[in-house]
Each structure stands twice: as structure tokens, then as C-alpha cells.
């Protein structure tokens, strides 16, 4: 018997059209998160906290309860929710400006407290929504509208390594850096996301998945060139891999 | 009559919050309100609540935002510098229409200032310290007993209108002790559940979205007009003030909070000397009792507004009174509290001018 | 209307704040209005601390004063600070164990109590604050002895009765000391 498989969107996506640019990888990560929510059967108790940045509308794209936090404050908002509703599943979705610049204190302390929330961190080395300014994760030498001569360490400091920083905090239960450039990497990211949510469901502590992502628009490249640039440059600065795993292997 | 307890203002307000059904507290230590935070740290676990010392007031206010999203009673307390840090979150909370209660135990400013009592955060509280067209309800207790009662009111108003409410206290009220009768413990089941909008997980219903955000100016304008409708209702229903000795008075003193109670001593001494003076004490600073003040002082020779600042509420007093009679001001600032003798002296000087 | 406005002042650790709280609480037990207002901040940490207690038959307006009717001073800095502020005809109670200096005012009543020595004789120098409170109460009658005992029980509720007993002994010894 021939079987027909229909490609269906995950239940936990609202069906609202994404507002992202062509070649942007936010959409891939959104879909993966929604698939995990479906697979874990947690849609009815999930609350998402969207950031300020390109994904400011993310709360509209997921078919779960949601809000938008002030810039950088999503981990604090999520903390308030989780402390109020201990049975809820709370996740933040944050870009590099939101999480690693203005919201550094909030993410470090949420991680250190072992707050039972999950943060999805999209690192594309640039500010997207405001139009291509320098991010804390912008690579040295990389030109942006606020580093027009290229990021210089003596003026702008160095690209910040969030996973390396957070792995030293006691409250982290799961921490991994991935990419979504290839089908294999997408599958790997999905596994990481599942473990991150599982860490929360099992009450093990704070979890974060950093996804290295492209921003063709603000990098000034085609989507394909952007994936190549990510492979050649971002992966050198930001080593993909597992930093903390207190979840263990799937039973 | 229920038992009286001798208790510090900060601790009294904290206990009142618990009795009002608050089981969630997020805050950061700052003098002169730290006893509030300490009391909550000890007491909330006893009643099955959740206490968290945040990494900053910036985080505290956003934790309040998150907790308020779930529809449960939540409170934070702080003092001037910390309240400044909370203004961003306050604006988001007003925009997202989240019920929440803030206690500002005001100290001398600006900047680091000092830790003594002051009323110089009046503008910040009543005119909106954050960005955008919003108001928070502002309640100013004059005694610890009144503070306890206003904490209960604050939660009810916050729930009724889905709005932030500020208790504007000061270092004196926070640090002093006086006898208090506490209210009953609210039955948690009786509190508003906010299930029609709160974020609790979309079980058997469409997902709820709670934000202060709309990218379409016409839609955002509509949201703003909805807030304004709410503010009109608050103005119509929630104004509180107190008058004393006004009926036969030739002169009117105006003051709020701690200053208001100190003016009570001024009036007693003045009347002992045959000076007919009365007191108008606004209890809600926003909404301000413009009409009530105008009517109360209409037949007086002048108004003397006294504040622990260089003159902030005076602007609202002048708006209320207009040009119909002179409005004088006396204030001390930087944490200096005017004592009854000096206010009485100023009052007599103003009376001399009229003669 | 009867009103007591007292400033009590001394080194941190002399039990000044407690003295004021016990007095204000005793007034509450007597069904009077009372307020207790501490000086707070860095001066609490080891320097000179003071508190203001107001006791009244009526609602209390100001819990703060620049010119108290009564003052208790437990050290020299407190004498220097508050002697000149006492209202004419007022009362100054001095812990003469610590303050070896004569006050200058002639228009106020002055009472000296060797509070530390009396407290030591009772077995605990820390009760000097209650000795001096006893002397103050013998002069002013601001609150009743029974109410002080109740206030102490509220404060030390659950702890050993011996603490209350010692403090009450100290209170009575203070009152006795100024009769002679």
C-alpha cells in the first residue's frame, strides 16, 4: 500500500504569516519549537515571552498564551510567570541584542537561579529590526551601520560568548549551541530544543539553546551566501556543541 | 474591637498586602523600605506564597509584569532610586493593563540623595514616570493605619480597573511605629480570577495575548482611548480626600501623606491661639481631588500648601484653585521634615500679609 | 489634652530604640495614641541613635519634633545635641554613669540616674535602659507600670520570663533611685 504523507504545519503555530525577510532563519526555529510543543503535549500550559527585535511578533505566531517583554527583560517576565504558575511551561525567545546586551543581567541571574524556564537565543551577530547595527555578538572586523569601519576590539570590545558565560552558573540544566544551516543541523537543533524543554518539565533548572542564524538582509548577502558566511565566520568564533546537559539520554 | 499591634510602617504594609491576598513579591533591598522586603521574605513562605529577591529593580518590575500576566495579586516595594529603575516596567504594565501594586517609600533625591523622608517623587508618581499616555492610581497614606487600609484598597482598585496602583509613602511612615488594627485575611477564592484575559495556558480556549504593543498607529490610538475611558471611570469613582476643621476656617492648609498628618498638629496649635485654620488632605494624588479642593477652599482667605519637596503638588493645587484666591507654598526638601512650629510661623507670616 | 513628646538618645547598643518601643507600646496598652520614630541610617550602626516617642489622648499629628518636652540622654553627644532643644519647663533625664558633665539649662527639671551601676547591681548592665525608663516614668507618669510589663511581654513573647522580670526590676529600681 502506498502511503501519502501530507506536510502539515505544527498545531502550536497559529498560522499567521511570518513577517521575516527571505532567507531569515527565525521561521525554521519557530517551527521547530512548535513541533516540540506538539510532541511534548504541552500546548495548553505553555506561555511564551517574545522580545523586542525582529521576533517582536513571535507571540502572534505561536498558538499559545503570550506576551512581549520590554527589551531584554523576557527572563524576568518569565520568572514572574513561572513563580506564579509552577505547572506552566514558560519560554522566552530572544535575539542577541535583547539577550546579550540590554538583557545581560536578566539572563545571567535567571540562569544562575536555575529558573525553570527555557530561553531560545537567536544569535545572528547583528541588530535586525533597527536596521543592521552592531550587536554584542558582532564579529571583529564586521561592518555594521554603527561599526562602519568594522568592529574594533579597542573601541567595541569582543564578541560575547553567551554559552561559555552561562555554563559557569550553577542553575543551568541544559545548554547547547547549534545552527540550522543544513537538514542535519536542523534535526540536531530540534533535539536540543526538546532536551531544553524537558529540562524545564523535569524541574531540573534553567535551559537555553543558542542558535547561530543568518541575517541576509542586514549582512547584505543572498540567503545562500549568508549560510556560507555563517559556516566560514560565525562558526569559528562561536563553537557549536553541548555545554551543559543534566537531562541525560532519552528513556 | 480587634487587637492593636505596635508595628513599623514597612512591616504593617507588608502584612496588609498578605491579608489582601498577595502571595507574590519581587523586590530589591533599598533603605528606607528594606524591612518590607525582609518581612515578605519571612512571611510569604508561611502562607504558601512566593518571595524572590531580584537582581535589580529593573528585574523586579518585570517579574511583577510576568506574575500579573497570570492574574494573581502581586506587589513590589522600593524607594526613589529603585522606583526610577521601575519606570520602564511601569509603562509596560500600564500599557498591558496589568493589575499590580507598587509601594514607594520615598527618600530625599535627586540621584543618590539621602535616606530621609521626602515627598519629591510626587511628579514621578502622578504624572507618569515612564513613557506614554498613562496614569497609575496614586494613594498617599498619612498614618500607618491608613496605609494598611489603602494597601487593601490598592489591590481592589488594581483588579477592578486592570491598572497599576502606587502607594506613595515616605521614610517616616516606613520607619515609624504606631498601633495598628489589621484587616481580615481575604479569602483567595473570592478574588478576581481574571480568567477572561490572563495567561494561564490556553486550555479549552483560544490563546490570550497580553501586550502594550500595536504597530498600527490607528489601532494603538484605539488602545490609548480605551485607557483614557478607564481613567475617566477612575476619576469618577475613586477620588479620596480628607478635610478637618474647614467649616469655620479663614485659612486652608493643604498637604498629603506624612505632611498632611503633621499639619494636623499645626492646626491644633493655631486654634489654641485663636487662628481659624483647616486642613485639606488629598488621599488620592492621582486622580487629584480638583473639584473637592476648589469647593472646600472657595470661601477661604488663602491656601498654604506644605510639602516635603520644593513644590510639586502645588501645581495641582493651583490648577484646582485657579486665580480665585492666593496659593502660598512652604516646603523643606532633601529629607528635611518641616516641624509644626516652623509651619505655624509661616502661616502667621502669611496672615500678617493679609491684614 | 495631655501629651508627652520624648526624645531618647544614646550610643547604639544602649537599648535606646527598645526603650522607646516599650514606652510607645505601653501607651497603646493604656489605650492612648502613640508613635515611635527612630533616627535611621548609618548612625544606627554604632554611632549615636535616637528615637522620638509621642503619647497623646488624641490623634497624633506630628511624630517628629525639634523641641521635645522631655529628653533621656544616655551619653555626652546626646546631652550636647538635645539639652538646648528641650522646651522651657521640660524634663531632662541623664544617665550619670556615662554622662560625667553638668547640664547648663536652669529652666528645665533635671534628673540624674546612675543607670549603669544600678543595672549592673541587678545582674545585667544591658538593663540600664529600663532603669532610666523607670526614672522617667516616676517623673512623668506617662504610662502605667503594668502596661510596661505587658509591653515587655509582647516584645519578648515566647522567650524566658526572666528577661521580663529583670527588666521590670530595673524599671522599679530606676523609679526608686530618684525618690532618694
The 3-class SS string of chain A reads CCCCCCCCCCCCECCCCCCCCCCCCHHHHHHHHHHHHHHHCCHHHEEEEECCCHHHHHHHHECCEEEECCCCCHHHHHHHHHHHCCCCEEEEEEEHHHHHHHCHHHHHHHHHHCCCCEEEEEECCECCCCCCCECCCCCCCCCECCECCCCCHHHHCCCCCHHHHHCCCCCEEEEEEEECCCHHHHHHHHHHHHHHHHHHHCCCCEEEEEEECCCHHHHCCCHHHHHHHHHHHHHHHCCCEEEEECCCCCC
> What's the pLDDT at B1?
47
Sheet-wide strand order for A172-179: A241-245, A172-179, A206-212, A118-123, A89-95, A46-50, A65-68, B209-210
How far apart CA B68 and CA B168 sit, in angstroms, is: 20
Domain positions in chain A:
26-245
CB contact under 8 A, B178 and C33: yes
Residue carrying the nine cell digits 549582512: A219
> Do B210 and B267 have their domain in common?
no
Q: Which chains are within 8 Å of B by 3+ CB pairs?
A: A, C
CB contact under 8 A, A109 and B54: yes
B267 interaction partners in chain C (CB closer than 8 Å):
61
C36 sits in which H/E element: strand C33-38
Among all residues of chain A, which has the CA nearest to that of B202? Answer: A44
B170 interaction partners in chain C (CB closer than 8 Å):
none
**Domain boundary residue among B203, B237, B271?**
B237
Kindly report, residue by residue over C149-164, the tens digit of the pLDDT. 999 999 997 777 889 9
A201/chain B closest Cα distance in angstroms:
15
**pLDDT of A251 strictly over 60:** no
CB contact under 8 A, A63 and B202: yes
Helices B340-354, B257-272: inter-axial angle, 10-degree rounding:
60
C67 interaction partners in chain B (CB closer than 8 Å):
339, 341
Among all residues of chain B, which has the CA nearest to that of C29? Answer: B4
**Domain boundary residue among B180, B204, B237?**
B237
Mean pLDDT calculated for residue range A185-211? 98
Mean pLDDT of chain A: 96
The candidate with the shortest Cα–Cα distance to A192, out of A207, A205, A176, is A176
B45 interaction partners in chain A (CB closer than 8 Å):
none
> Do B30 and B126 have their domain in common?
yes
> A4 Cβ partners below 8 Å, 6+ apart?
none
> Do B123 and B15 have their domain in common?
yes
How far apart CA A198 and CA A173 sit, in angstroms, is: 10
C65/chain B closest Cα distance in angstroms:
6
Q: Which residues pair with B177 in a beta bridge?
A: B8, C36
> Do B224 and B253 have their domain in common?
no
Mean pLDDT calculated for residue range C67-87? 96
Q: How many CB pairs lie under 8 A apart between chains B and C?
A: 74
The interface predicted TM-score (ipTM) is: 0.93
**Cβ–Cβ contact A77 with B under 8 A:** yes
Mean pLDDT calculated for residue range A159-174? 98
> Do B188 and B68 have their domain in common?
yes
CB of A190 within 8 A of CB of A32? yes
CB of B19 within 8 A of CB of B152? yes
- Write the residue in B62, B199, B202 that is nearest to A73 by C-beta: B62
Q: Residue B68: phi, psi to the nearest 5?
A: -65, -30
**Cβ–Cβ contact B243 with A under 8 A:** no
> What's the pLDDT at C12?
84
CB contact under 8 A, B177 and C35: yes
Sheet-wide strand order for B100-106: B50-53, B24-27, B74-78, B100-106, B164-170, B137-139, B284-286
Residue numbers of the domain that contains B279: 241-354
**Cβ–Cβ contact B340 with C under 8 A:** yes
| CATH number of the CATH domain containing B163 | 3.40.50.970
Among all residues of chain A, which has the CA nearest to that of B98? Answer: A67
How far apart CA A202 and CA C73 sit, in angstroms, is: 61
CB of A164 within 8 A of CB of A129? no
| CATH number of the CATH domain containing B331 | 3.40.50.920
DSSP C43: G
Domains of chain C: 3-177 (3.40.920.10)
- Write the residue in C21, C25, C61 that is nearest to B262 by C-beta: C61
Tens digit of pLDDT per residue, chain B (355 long)?
468 999 999 999 999 999 999 999 999 999 999 999 999 999 999 999 999 999 999 999 999 999 999 999 999 999 999 999 999 999 999 999 999 999 999 999 999 999 999 999 999 999 989 999 999 999 999 999 999 999 999 999 999 999 999 999 999 999 999 999 999 999 999 999 899 999 999 999 999 999 999 999 999 999 999 999 999 999 999 999 999 999 999 999 999 999 999 999 999 999 999 999 999 999 999 999 999 999 999 999 999 999 999 999 999 999 999 999 999 999 999 999 999 999 999 999 999 998 8
- Write the residue in B178, B263, B264 that is nearest to C35 by C-beta: B178
CB contact under 8 A, A77 and B63: yes
> What's the pLDDT at B265?
95
Q: Would you tell me how many other CB atoms lie within 10 Å of the CB of residue C52?
A: 23
B24 interaction partners in chain A (CB closer than 8 Å):
80, 83-84
**Cβ–Cβ contact A58 with B under 8 A:** no
B238/chain A closest Cα distance in angstroms:
29
> Do B248 and B274 have their domain in common?
yes
- Overall domain count for chain B: 2
> Do B266 and B148 have their domain in common?
no
Q: Which chains are within 8 Å of A by 3+ CB pairs?
A: B
Select A26-245's CATH number: 3.30.1490.100, 3.40.30.10, 3.40.50.970, 3.40.50.300: 3.40.50.970
Among all residues of chain A, which has the CA nearest to that of B88? Answer: A70
Amino acid at each position: 500500500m502506498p502511503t501519502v504523507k501530507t506536510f502539515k504545519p505544527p498545531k502550536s503555530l497559529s498560522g499567521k504569516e511570518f513577517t521575516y525577510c527571505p532567507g531569515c532563519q527565525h521561521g525554521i526555529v519557530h517551527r521547530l519549537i512548535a513541533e516540540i510543543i506538539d510532541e511534548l503535549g504541552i500546548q495548553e500550559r505553555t506561555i511564551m515571552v517574545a522580545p523586542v527585535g525582529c521576533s517582536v511578533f513571535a507571540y502572534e505566531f505561536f498558538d499559545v498564551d503570550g506576551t512581549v517583554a520590554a527589551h531584554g527583560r523576557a527572563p524576568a517576565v518569565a520568572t514572574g510567570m513561572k513563580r506564579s504558575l509552577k505547572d506552566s511551561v514558560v519560554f522566552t525567545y530572544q535575539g542577541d541584542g535583547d539577550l546579550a546586551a540590554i538583557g545581560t543581567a536578566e539572563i545571567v541571574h535567571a540562569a544562575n537561579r536555575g529558573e525553570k524556564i527555557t530561553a531560545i537565543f537567536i544569535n545572528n551577530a547583528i541588530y535586525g529590526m533597527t536596521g543592521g547595527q552592531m550587536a554584542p555578538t558582532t564579529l571583529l572586523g564586521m561592518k555594521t551601520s554603527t561599526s562602519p569601519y568594522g568592529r574594533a576590539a579597542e573601541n567595541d570590545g569582543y564578541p560575547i560568548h553567551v554559552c561559555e558565560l552561562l555554563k559557569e552558573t550553577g542553575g543551568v540544566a541544559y545548554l547547547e549551541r547549534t545552527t540550522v544551516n543544513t537538514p542535519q543541523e536542523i534535526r540536531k537543533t530540534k533535539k536540543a530544543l526538546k532536551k531544553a524543554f524537558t529540562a524545564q518539565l523535569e524541574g531540573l533548572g534553567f535551559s537555553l539553546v543558542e542558535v547561530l542564524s543568518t541575517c541576509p538582509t542586514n549582512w547584505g548577502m543572498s540567503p545562500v551566501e549568508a549560510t556560507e558566511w555563517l559556516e566560514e565566520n560565525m562558526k569559528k568564533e562561536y563553537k557549536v556543541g553541548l555545554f551543559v546537559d543534566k537531562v541525560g539520554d532519552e528513556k | 474591637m480587634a487587637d492593636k499591634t505596635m508595628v513599623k510602617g514597612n512591616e504593617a504594609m507588608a502584612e496588609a498586602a498578605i491579608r489582601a491576598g498577595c502571595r507574590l513579591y519581587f523586590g530589591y533591598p533599598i533603605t528606607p523600605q528594606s524591612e518590607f522586603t525582609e518581612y515578605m521574605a519571612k512571611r510569604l513562605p508561611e502562607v504558601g506564597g512566593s518571595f524572590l529577591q531580584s537582581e535589580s529593580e529593573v528585574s523586579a518590575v518585570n517579574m511583577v509584569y510576568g506574575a500579573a500576566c497570570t492574574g494573581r495579586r502581586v506587589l513590589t516595594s522600593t524607594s526613589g532610586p529603585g522606583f526610577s529603575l521601575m519606570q520602564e516596567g511601569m509603562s509596560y504594565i500600564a500599557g498591558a493593563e496589568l493589575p499590580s501594586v507598587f509601594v514607594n517609600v520615598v527618600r530625599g533625591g535627586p540621584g543618590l540623595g539621602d535616606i530621609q523622608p521626602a515627598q519629591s517623587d510626587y511628579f514621578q508618581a502622578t504624572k507618569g514616570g515612564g513613557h506614554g499616555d498613562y496614569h497609575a492610581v496614586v494613594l498617599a497614606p498619612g498614618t500607618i493605619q491608613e496605609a494598611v487600609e489603602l494597601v487593601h484598597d490598592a489591590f481592589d482598585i488594581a483588579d477592578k480597573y486592570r491598572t497599576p496602583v502606587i502607594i506613595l509613602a515616605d521614610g517616616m511612615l516606613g520607619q515609624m511605629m504606631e498601633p495598628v488594627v489589621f484587616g481580615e485575611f481575604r479569602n483567595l477564592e473570592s478574588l478576581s480570577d481574571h480568567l477572561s484575559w490572563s495567561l494561564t495556558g490556553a486550555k479549552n480556549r483560544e490563546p490570550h495575548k497580553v501586550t502594550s504593543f500595536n504597530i498600527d498607529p490607528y489601532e494603538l490610538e484605539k488602545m490609548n482611548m480605551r485607557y483614557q475611558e478607564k481613567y475617566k471611570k477612575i476619576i469618577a469613582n475613586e477620588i479620596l480626600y480628607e478635610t478637618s476643621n474647614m467649616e469655620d476656617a479663614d485659612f486652608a492648609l493643604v498637604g498629603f501623606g506624612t505632611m498632611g498628618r503633621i499639619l494636623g498638629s499645626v492646626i491644633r496649635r493655631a486654634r489654641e491661639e485663636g487662628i481659624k485654620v483647616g486642613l485639606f488632605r488629598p488621599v488620592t494624588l492621582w486622580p487629584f481631588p480638583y473639584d473637592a479642593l476648589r469647593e472646600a477652599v472657595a470661601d477661604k482667605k488663602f491656601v498654604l500648601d506644605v510639602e516635603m519637596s520644593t513644590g510639586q503638588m502645588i501645581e495641582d493645587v493651583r490648577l484646582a484653585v485657579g486665580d480665585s484666591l492666593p496659593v502660598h507654598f512652604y516646603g523643606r526638601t532633601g529629607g528635611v521634615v518641616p516641624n509644626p512650629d516652623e509651619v505655624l510661623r509661616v502661616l502667621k507670616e502669611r496672615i500678617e500679609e493679609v491684614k | 489634652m495631655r501629651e508627652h513628646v520624648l526624645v531618647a538618645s544614646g550610643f547604639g547598643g544602649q537599648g535606646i530604640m527598645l526603650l522607646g518601643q516599650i514606652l510607645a507600646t505601653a501607651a497603646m496598652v493604656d489605650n492612648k495614641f502613640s508613635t515611635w520614630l527612630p533616627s535611621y541610617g548609618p548612625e544606627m550602626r554604632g554611632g549615636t541613635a535616637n528615637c522620638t516617642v509621642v503619647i497623646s489622648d488624641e490623634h497624633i499629628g506630628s511624630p517628629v519634633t525639634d523641641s521635645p518636652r522631655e529628653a533621656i540622654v544616655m551619653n555626652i553627644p546626646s546631652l550636647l545635641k538635645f539639652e538646648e532643644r528641650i522646651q522651657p519647663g521640660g524634663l531632662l533625664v541623664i544617665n550619670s554613669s556615662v554622662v560625667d558633665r553638668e547640664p547648663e539649662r536652669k529652666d528645665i527639671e533635671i534628673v540624674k540616674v546612675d543607670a549603669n551601676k544600678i543595672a549592673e547591681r541587678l545582674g545585667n548592665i544591658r538593663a540600664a535602659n529600663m532603669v532610666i525608663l523607670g526614672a522617667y516614668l516616676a517623673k512623668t507618669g506617662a504610662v502605667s507600670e503594668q502596661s510596661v510589663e505587658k509591653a515587655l511581654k509582647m516584645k519578648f513573647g515566647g522567650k524566658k520570663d526572666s528577661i521580663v522580670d529583670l527588666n521590670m526590676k530595673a524599671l522599679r529600681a530606676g523609679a526608686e533611685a530618684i525618690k532618694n
